[in-house]
Structure 1
């Protein structure tokens, strides 16, 4: 989250957008013939084609699967399907011969296995070139997404760099406007095609810089050999993932991994001090007892070793370590709030005084909400195998030692918040700031809408593209900010809410009434008199926040289509419940797993629909299509590609859904 949209517009950089701006590729005859053949078995087949780079990126069935049930290993099933239909993507057998599995994520709830495979060339990984295959519980192939570059061997000259890793780092320093006192120095490179090299440099990164060779796909017929590495800026505001041309020194891409978005607390779903009674300056918090969920946090919130008994009496445990960072050191202070042997985290608060006077209360609220999101979203499938945030994964898969560092009242900024998401196994960081829009200042740590928004970046970055690849939400038509806003709305929704009523995010921090617009230009609402957006409204919107807000509106309309049909249940832990809000979050979370790297809105839509075909008997497939279509995300919507902010609305629904009323059951040809 960030208020300064002009700054956010330039947070991510991809030189390929300008390079390919005038490029117009068409589908080849072989691709068209293969797609036509597949359409015989899947009449409603949807094909996502990016004409700016010539890639067919997705094959999906709007109301079911791409293939029938099968038995065997999901990886073998998926690869067999892709090989049989490789011409639809323009791929050859040689393109599929050199790949590596980066992640394999199985969801117990949906039975879907999400497979993430990376293209390689002579042992060198191809940057963000993922083949994602989503396989159902019954062995049916639900959808396939590909960013593999066809005929890669003819698109790149070789794997011998002209420039060394140190020269690439020096070029990045210049690119970032950092003047170095001494030139970077390459230490000894590791053996192997990737030439992993640590670069010694002062004054550029707070973390070591480890560069390795990669291949950057530019467009069909073109790729570049690049150095790839990360720079963690000294102010802790950015963690840039960069690619630098190994022949020319050109910076091709710069993606920021920082997404600039008993306990006495404001408990879920209370959004802030102004969303409950008594109102400030009275203390509206309540004392919550034993809130840890036994499935997600089996040893409580203060455990890390998987043995009964708390290791910490401060706000620290398996899922999060919350502490004040007023001096912006990135480290916990010497003295932290202590809840005592009974873990009674009950600290006073005075909302008429400066936030610095109630640090323990703020840290406790931040600790509580981080754990709540961890525990609730665990139920919907954000678990260890999916890359969630835990020190100890209790033998359930995934990589541990990556609890959230939640920094309250951080001194690194004002009127903002952010979340750093590195790959699975590396610790993320949430920075919450003071908001000086009023005196006394307001503390973002007391605004659950903002806390959920920031944690949401961690969820989306680990789920979209798989837990090992967190650079998948950096394209211009990416929904990351909208995913986070939607999660904020979900976690703070109440049984008395209605679709038409307007909802803002961050109203407390901005010193607005609960009816304020919050941090976005319009409130979220199903009423066209309150929110006027459709899919095409992203045209002219700031990237990523304006674009993301439009996405959140589309999800909010789909959410209400389900809540109006199935009702609302305040028990968010019941992920298999029948209420509309529970169903939507189940489809949404699995949908993100089904979504490819650098997605368009239509690809996220398809991921959600694919999830809906596999859950609750597929009864909500047409209901979701009708909601998406009303928003402009129908089957005939045209995304324009992942780098486009000029999509075309489409209001059509699949043929199988045309004659069905919104309350009807699933179409007969849904494959489950």
Structure 2
């Protein structure tokens, strides 16, 4: 069994393993939770009672539109009721009533108005509102002191969760010596960066000069420049220590070996208070010695604007006026419209080590951007693989600067743009400019496909999507997705990675390497499944629990495996023909991993193909302990399989297009409703709750 109650769509998860731990000491918050349980016996409290990560009911809402527990709409889809005028005046009415009724749980009832609303976004698919409140002292955020709530379109409370500090005014008063020093940290950002570098064992970098550019404001946000250290940003935060609040620098940076890190450094004495690796890798790779594989799936470092190396360069940070122009009536691109040059979906019914799928030619197609998601098209006046949603380029030496972008040919009196590069797959990918440009165009195409498809189902500007210009639709612009192909030649291979600042307004980066298990090497920029997989990591970082979580909230193995499963699922779902056989086998990234094992084309990059057939894909929750060190990619197949089962069931009950759209709606709403640091069972509950919200 995979899931026992997902409306018959999957039976892979069953409650055979205890996945939550309760604190031993009774606290005021735990007493509040106990009182809540008496009112709502079926309520689920994610995390220990002293600091619930999220509170929800798997099959219904916490309250009706009036804010009272058990009120109209609390057991299912809420309907408009009298009092909607009050809701218009205060869309957070049910949140306030819940917090006031159970003030001990979060200590937030009387503090909601003193916190800053960091996000207030409405889902275009369900009308569900996501609100994130952030506590601040002297204009500086308290790290982790956020409250996140979801309410229906008529105000019923769906979930609430977070880690608000109770009595913030008193906390600030008790820490007056520290809070009063907010404007003058004793350790500046440059010194804090050097302390962080020392902590991870890079003494050669400590002696180098650091330059900085400071933005106005109490957080003193700044970009730091240093040889060998890239995409470095720093900002002041309050860190909650055992002995009270510490003014600290939160710093994000990336080293030459390609791994990014997030550190928190005390601004008073330079102590490193927190440190984690924040680059996500798609599999085992030649990581640096000081990279911690157990934290390789968290958030990600800010990717600075990529400057063009070519003489006719246009920086990524192109002015909004230029980006917002759509100068071409027709844009054509030569791409692989299937998942790779050797499509394998549906896959083999059984392993066949002698089978080699035929190579299909790339196709010159006229692109059709979604008019809502990309109102000004995919390309801008640069006439290259750089636009409002994405910037694709080659970076052979991995210096974070574009070696080249593919340049289109302008015709039709300036009205048409054509990218027509035919790859030669019989020679090394990097050996010809045509191969380099073909991979770049393919990468650009599939990043834009992911942008437009996911936009349709709810990854919009207000929820932190990746765009240079946001068209006054909410969120922060200036952050198109960056994608590099043929990266780090001769240094890193057989992998891909994703790095994001978990900060709207700062670009993320998908990094694609060559795969060398076969000669000639295979270019991951030609594998759409892997491109979408990495893109999906960005969506999860910015949308999980509404996006109000430090570094994405997927620290521990089950949360990270959930993310991997979502990414695998999306990579296959957006490249599979929705009308193909739902009971067949579907391998993930089989093209890139040829010859890694005799059954590679059967199972792809994972231990099993994705399949509703339990003999082909036997993953269940009981198998989780079998993965050494709880390896997240292996465990992620379980969650991906759950989603694949659900997709198949919905298609079988409707049709290919309808069922696919239904599962995509469910997935994106479920990610918003997933608590930080989730268990797989909590991820299941989020999917069930999304079904209630949508239906």
TM-score, scaled relative to structure 2: 0.74
Partners of 2:459 and 2:668 within 8 A in 1: yes
Q: Distance in 2 between matches of 1:518 and 1:316?
A: 31
Q: Is 1:459 equivalent to 2:539 in the alignment?
A: yes
Q: Secondary structure at the match of 2:564?
A: helix
Indicate how the Cα distance of structure 1 residues 260 and 128 shifts in structure 2: closer, same or farther if over 3 A, else same: farther
1:599 corresponds in structure 2 to: 678
2:198 corresponds in structure 1 to: 174
Q: Per-residue deviation at 1:131?
A: 1.0
Q: Choose from 459, 462, 484 the match for 1:407.
A: 484
Partners of 2:393 and 2:405 within 8 A in 1: no
Q: Per-residue deviation at 1:523?
A: 2.7
Q: Per-residue deviation at 1:451?
A: 0.5
Q: What's the C-alpha RMSD, in Å, of the aligned pairs?
A: 3.4
Q: Distance in 2 between matches of 1:186 and 1:78?
A: 48
Q: Choose from 554, 567, 576 the match for 2:642.
A: 554
Q: Is 1:230 equivalent to 2:230 in the alignment?
A: no
Indicate how the Cα distance of structure 1 residues 157 and 517 shifts in structure 2: closer, same or farther if over 3 A, else same: farther
Q: Is 1:566 equivalent to 2:654 in the alignment?
A: yes
Q: Distance in 2 between matches of 1:23 and 1:597?
A: 16
Q: Distance in 2 between matches of 1:168 and 1:132?
A: 30
Partners of 1:228 and 1:241 within 8 A in 2: no
Segment of structure 1 superposing worse, 205-214 or 388-397: 205-214
1:614 corresponds in structure 2 to: 693
| Equivalent residues in 2 for 1:498-577, closer than 5 Å | 498=581, 500-511=583-594, 515-539=601-625, 540-569=628-657
Q: Per-residue deviation at 1:533?
A: 2.7
Q: Secondary structure at the match of 1:516?
A: helix
Unaligned runs of 5+ residues in structure 1 are 1-20, 304-310, 570-578, 618-672
Q: Choose from 423, 427, 432 the match for 1:349.
A: 423
Q: Per-residue deviation at 1:185?
A: 7.3
Q: Secondary structure at the match of 1:464?
A: helix
2:668 corresponds in structure 1 to: 589
1:164 corresponds in structure 2 to: 187
Segment of structure 1 superposing worse, 25-34 or 517-526: 25-34
Q: Deviations over 1:141-169 (max 9, x none)?
A: 11112222456656985535896245543
2:570 corresponds in structure 1 to: 487
Partners of 1:563 and 1:581 within 8 A in 2: yes
1:58 corresponds in structure 2 to: 54
Q: Secondary structure at the match of 1:291?
A: coil
Indicate how the Cα distance of structure 1 residues 244 and 530 shifts in structure 2: closer, same or farther if over 3 A, else same: farther
Partners of 1:473 and 1:480 within 8 A in 2: no
Q: Is 1:213 equivalent to 2:213 in the alignment?
A: no
Q: Is 1:264 equivalent to 2:334 in the alignment?
A: yes
Indicate how the Cα distance of structure 1 residues 203 and 186 shifts in structure 2: closer, same or farther if over 3 A, else same: closer
Q: Choose from 409, 432, 438 the match for 2:512.
A: 432
Q: Deviations over 1:202-250 (max 9, x none)?
A: 44622344241322367xxx75525232232232623322223456755
Q: Per-residue deviation at 1:251?
A: 3.2
Q: Choose from 411, 416, 439 the match for 1:362.
A: 439
Q: Deviations over 1:401-446 (max 9, x none)?
A: 2111211111262111112222111122111111111100000011
Give aligned pairs, total. Answer: 572
Indicate how the Cα distance of structure 1 residues 225 and 561 shifts in structure 2: closer, same or farther if over 3 A, else same: farther
Q: Choose from 366, 381, 385 the match for 1:289.
A: 366
Unaligned runs of 5+ residues in structure 2 are 1-19, 67-83, 283-331, 347-355
Q: Choose from 109, 130, 135 the match for 2:146.
A: 130
2:526 corresponds in structure 1 to: 446
Q: Distance in 2 between matches of 1:381 and 1:484?
A: 16
Q: Deviations over 1:105-135 (max 9, x none)?
A: 1112210110011233464422133211001
Partners of 1:409 and 1:433 within 8 A in 2: yes
Q: Secondary structure at the match of 1:65?
A: coil
Partners of 2:147 and 2:164 within 8 A in 1: yes
Q: Distance in 1 between matches of 2:471 and 2:225?
A: 38
Partners of 1:276 and 1:284 within 8 A in 2: no
Q: Choose from 31, 44, 47 the match for 1:46.
A: 44
Q: Distance in 2 between matches of 1:185 and 1:344?
A: 43
Q: Secondary structure at the match of 1:109?
A: coil
| Equivalent residues in 2 for 1:5-84, closer than 5 Å | 24-26=23-25, 28=27, 31-32=30-31, 35-37=34-36, 40=39, 42-50=40-48, 54-70=50-66, 71=84, 72-73=87-88, 75-84=91-100
Q: Per-residue deviation at 1:484?
A: 1.0
